[in-house]
Structure formats: C-alpha cells, structure tokens
Amino acid sequence: MKEAVLVVDMIKDFVYGKFGSEGAENIIEPLAHFLKEGRERNVPVFFLKDSHRERDQELQVWGQHAMEDEEGSEIVSDLKGLYDVKIEKQHFDGFYDTGLEEELLERDIDKLIITGVSTDICVQHTAAGAFFRGYDIVVLEDCTAAISKEKHEDALEYMKNVYGAEIESSKNIIEKWKERG
C-alpha cells in the first residue's frame, strides 16, 4: 500500500482564533514530529485548509472564518513547510470540489493517514470522502482534536464503526515505518 498523510485545517482560526481550542494547540507538537518522521521516509503530506469566500454556504452556519487570503486561514507557523501539497477547500470534506483526489491518484495513493481538526467535522467529513472513494483510512487519535474530548472520542468511534478507519497513535505509525526500514 502506498500511503499519504492528510493534515486537515491546522490553520490560525482553528487553532488560536475563532474556533481555536486547547486540544488543537496540544496536537501541534506531536503532529509536527509525525510529519517530520513521515517526510524522512518520503511519505507525501497534503495540507487541506479552509479558505472561504463571501458566498460559501458554510458561512451561513458558522459565520465568517478562515477567509481566503486572510490571516485566519494561514497554516500555523509550527507546521509551515511540513507538507508537499497545499489544497484550499471551501467545504468540510477535503475531497469535495478540490483537486485532492487527482493529486492522490497521480501518486497511486491508496491509504490515507488523517490528522488535524476538527475531529467531528472536517476530519470526519474528509474521512467520509476517502471512504466513498475506496481509500484505506487511518485516523491518528493524538494528532486530531475537537472542541471537546467527548466530541473527539465520539467522532473517532464513528469513523471506526462506519468507515472502518483504523484509529492509531502517531507513535505506533512511526514504529511501523521504522520496522519497514
């Protein structure tokens, strides 16, 4: 299997800003470490980031956030440069109306390791998009976060039960990478 990492919405508005949380801040360090380990092993990293426009439907529900070309939609500084491809999105699902699927197909990727925020919204919807397209899915419990621990845990359980996602820790994946050489 050829795998890739998806980093979902680790941007200023979702870490420190309007929808920021302590949980999101707490995953920066393990996520940065995981991404560095993956890049050493040539595992491609795709950074999906909200980049909304005034007409986006999501703004009707959540109000203005992560607006295109504004500071709130910028990648948090600790993760800048730790990706191969950056994909802007206007919807919860990182596949919907983006070039993600084409990028993955171009690289013959069939397994996705999903990280980021929010576990119960954009991570879960991106996992759904991956499932419907036939990808094997791994979600890193220590490199994803939601506004609350309960929402995080419920979303992990949902993705496991409904999409067959493996719920793993970044440490376990790194160990598997090391075993493979």
> Order of strands, edge to edge, in the sheet holding 45-50?
85-89, 45-50, 3-8, 111-117, 136-145, 166-168
Q: What are phi and psi of 75, to 5 degrees?
A: -65, 140
Range 3-180 has CATH code 3.40.50.850: yes
pLDDT tens, residue by residue, 124-135: 999 999 999 999
| Domain ranges for the chain | 3-180
Model-level pTM?
0.95
According to DSSP, residue 120 is labeled: I
d(CA 130, CA 135): 5
pLDDT tens, residue by residue, 110-162: 999 999 999 999 999 999 999 999 999 999 999 999 999 999 999 999 999 99
